[in-house]
Structure 1
Amino acid sequence: MRETLTLQFGSASNQLADKLWHSVLSELNADKSSITTDGARDSSMTYRNGRYTPRAVSFCSKGGLSKAKPRSVDTASSAWDGNVQVISQDSEDAQAVATPLPSRAIVEVNEFRHFDPLNNFYDGVLGLDAKVRRETMDTAHDVIRAALEACDSLQGVQCIVDVDSTWGGFASEVLRGFREECPSAFVSVLGLDTRYPVASQADFFDLSKQSGRRSINLASSVLILNELSSLFIPFSPHTFDAGAVAWNCLSSVYRWRGSASTQDLLFRPNATVMQLSCSLVPPATLFAMPPLDRVAHWDQLSSFPVIQDCDDTTLRKFRFQFLAVRGLPHYSFDRLAGQPFDHWRSTVVAKPLFDQSSHPVDGGAVASLSITDRVPKYLMALATGVKHVDPRVVHEFTQAGMTCDGIRDLHDDLMSLSDSVL
């Protein structure tokens, strides 16, 4: 079996992963054939001693994860009941996700506290004034190396990263080390855009500084993580439940053997930023829509970050789409299902998709991974935002390790990336 390793960076990403594993374990528990048939197993999971465990490594702040109590093998083959525990730390309220991961797969970054703002990308990058110690980064690489050694034939790595935070910088350091050891491996990054707290109560009402920090964090994370990945998906779902269902639907394409490969998701080497949508409308109804109505449907259900002041009056462009149908083993695509996209591919994953209530989704589901004109507009919006950051915030990030020309470089690189997408 070609294994898939998952890396989770940050509190929001761990919460999303919690929902994902809940869905995946429900699917596996409903299909006992996966226990005895190697080809039917999910490549992102391991099965030992009567239990399923995610093949994953989680990075969290101190106290950010708690161990879930396993259920007996007689009641379920999963090691996790999906509960979320809430723990009070110091004088702050902090959610600790009850994880199905073993303790050896959890790396606590002691330099980060669960209630810290963590809203400076460069605090997570190694440097002369780095907040993260070299010993912590060495531990992170050792844990990932151990997870890789447990794989017979690594298919790739899927990452979930809190991009509006220090975790974006930390993830970039970890992925840079991974790339040195596995330069040709497929790497998909789900850039989870979740707003982090402000730096201090003193500037709680200073919207300019809040907006500036967010602009630099997002720009830095998108540029660097995209450079290190084969596929980068800016991700801002309405809820973690909806986000987990969308990611489960798409990633099953390469998690279940025989469906498709990681390469089927890719378009061009210089067009790696894409948007993800997931529809629970039955495919027969969905693909009966006129092409532009179907695009509007995808846009409405998209997990792509909202673009402020986006001009939709210009002629739309639709470059590439990958479609994945879940739960309908005998479904076949019409030859016009990919209109109005210039290039499109498709696959069908027979395994039923489960929702967060552990029930299969009736009528199937469809995931869409695409490149449209919304992608370059998003990148241009990031470039514009970073160009107008408050000088006080620029100084703050420069002190943390950003170069003196960092703002100009971020703007120019984002504009270049925007030009290359379509």
Structure 2
Amino acid sequence: MHEIITLQLGELSNYAATHFWNTQESYFTYSAEDESPVNHNVHWRPGVALDGSETFLPRTIIYDLKGGFGSLRKINALYDASDESAPTHLWEGSAHVHKQPEIEQSAYQQSLDLGAPAPTLKPSDVRYWSDFSRVFYHPKSLNQLYDYELNSSIMPFDKWSLGKELFDGLDREHDIVDRDFRPFIEEADQTQGFQIVTTIDDAWGGFATEYIQRLRDEYGKTPIWVWGLQAPAPGLMIVRAPNLDSWVASSSWQPD
């Protein structure tokens, strides 16, 4: 089997995908005598950390809103080259540094960093999807969208049209498929397909529609599998197959 590239769009999708990566990670074997039940080269990419050690990280591109990543840092311990004692002789005046308060790691994440037994997680312990993630991500996998803030009551990211507008604006300015997606294509030997995890009844549905259309334009022969999610809601109607087929067939479809 060849490489599959994953695209994760939004908070609910990242919760679901975190379970996927945690499960994939649990299949890793560390002895020549043990045989893994899965081919890790399909969903994981080999690489080299800053200290020269080999890495094996998810072959995924993740998008979320401002604040949606929780305590997860874009530059993690594998790639952090920061020097807190940077030279100051270039500026003779006093320096005032203003930092936004960091989100504290969950007890689960702290245990993983210390190599200690992880506590049993309860739903009340989880604030963000990163709180229960067991894997490192490459810095280029993490893409925070600052135009909207997670759970904002002033500018909620809820309408389908907002997602379309956000993608179109970002794509005009940055060509985000070329910037964010293409590097994963170029490092793969032979891409087998793309899997996309997205909600389909909110702004991320609009964002996903535009993203998929761009992928179709660029990689028309590559299969795309979409995991379409919906947040539970009272009285929610089940989307039957004919309606879902028409949604997939037409990228211009919008929910009422």
- Which TM-score bucket, shorter chain as reference? 0.5 to 0.7
The question of whether the paired residues in 2 share the 8 Å contact of 1:107 and 1:140 is answered with no
RMSD over equivalenced CA pairs, Å:
4.2
Q: Which residue of 2 aligns with 1:173?
A: 210
Normalized against structure 1, the TM-score is what?
A: 0.39
Q: Which residue of 1 aligns with 2:143?
A: 107
Cα distance between partner residues in 2 of 1:63 and 1:218: 34
Q: Which residue of 2 aligns with 1:24?
A: 24
Cα distance between partner residues in 1 of 2:138 and 2:29: 19
Relative contact order (C-alpha < 8 Å, sep 6+): which is higher? Answer: 2
Candidates 57, 74, 96, aligned match of 1:53: 57
Are 1:120 and 2:159 an aligned pair? yes
The question of whether the paired residues in 2 share the 8 Å contact of 1:12 and 1:162 is answered with yes
Are 1:226 and 2:248 an aligned pair? yes
Cα distance between partner residues in 1 of 2:3 and 2:20: 17
The question of whether the paired residues in 1 share the 8 Å contact of 2:195 and 2:226 is answered with yes
List gaps (5 residues or longer) in structure 1.
72-80, 84-92, 197-206, 230-401, 411-422
Aligned-residue offset at 1:17:
1.1
Alignment of 1:256-271 (within 5 A): none
Cα distance between partner residues in 1 of 2:32 and 2:7: 27
Higher helix share: 1
Cα distance between partner residues in 1 of 2:157 and 2:189: 36
Cα distance between partner residues in 2 of 1:137 and 1:167: 19
Are 1:67 and 2:104 an aligned pair? no
Q: Structure 1 95/20 Cα, relative in aligned 2: closer, same or farther at 3 Å? A: same
Are 1:159 and 2:159 an aligned pair? no
Q: Structure 1 137/15 Cα, relative in aligned 2: closer, same or farther at 3 Å? A: farther
Alignment of 1:333-344 (within 5 A): none
Q: Secondary structure at the match of 2:28?
A: helix
Aligned-residue offset at 1:150:
1.1
Cα distance between partner residues in 1 of 2:128 and 2:229: 18
Q: Structure 1 110/189 Cα, relative in aligned 2: closer, same or farther at 3 Å? A: same
Alignment of 1:253-292 (within 5 A): none
Amino acid at match of 1:67: R
Higher strand share: 1
Amino acid at match of 1:45: W
Cα distance between partner residues in 2 of 1:144 and 1:34: 34
Alignment of 1:361-400 (within 5 A): none
The question of whether the paired residues in 1 share the 8 Å contact of 2:8 and 2:198 is answered with yes
Q: Structure 1 109/218 Cα, relative in aligned 2: closer, same or farther at 3 Å? A: farther
Q: Percent identity?
A: 20
Amino acid at match of 1:47: P
* Equivalences, count: 196
Q: Structure 1 160/115 Cα, relative in aligned 2: closer, same or farther at 3 Å? A: same
Q: Which residue of 2 aligns with 1:349?
A: none
Cα distance between partner residues in 2 of 1:12 and 1:107: 16
Q: Secondary structure at the match of 1:97?
A: helix
Of structures 1 and 2, the larger Rg is shown by: 1
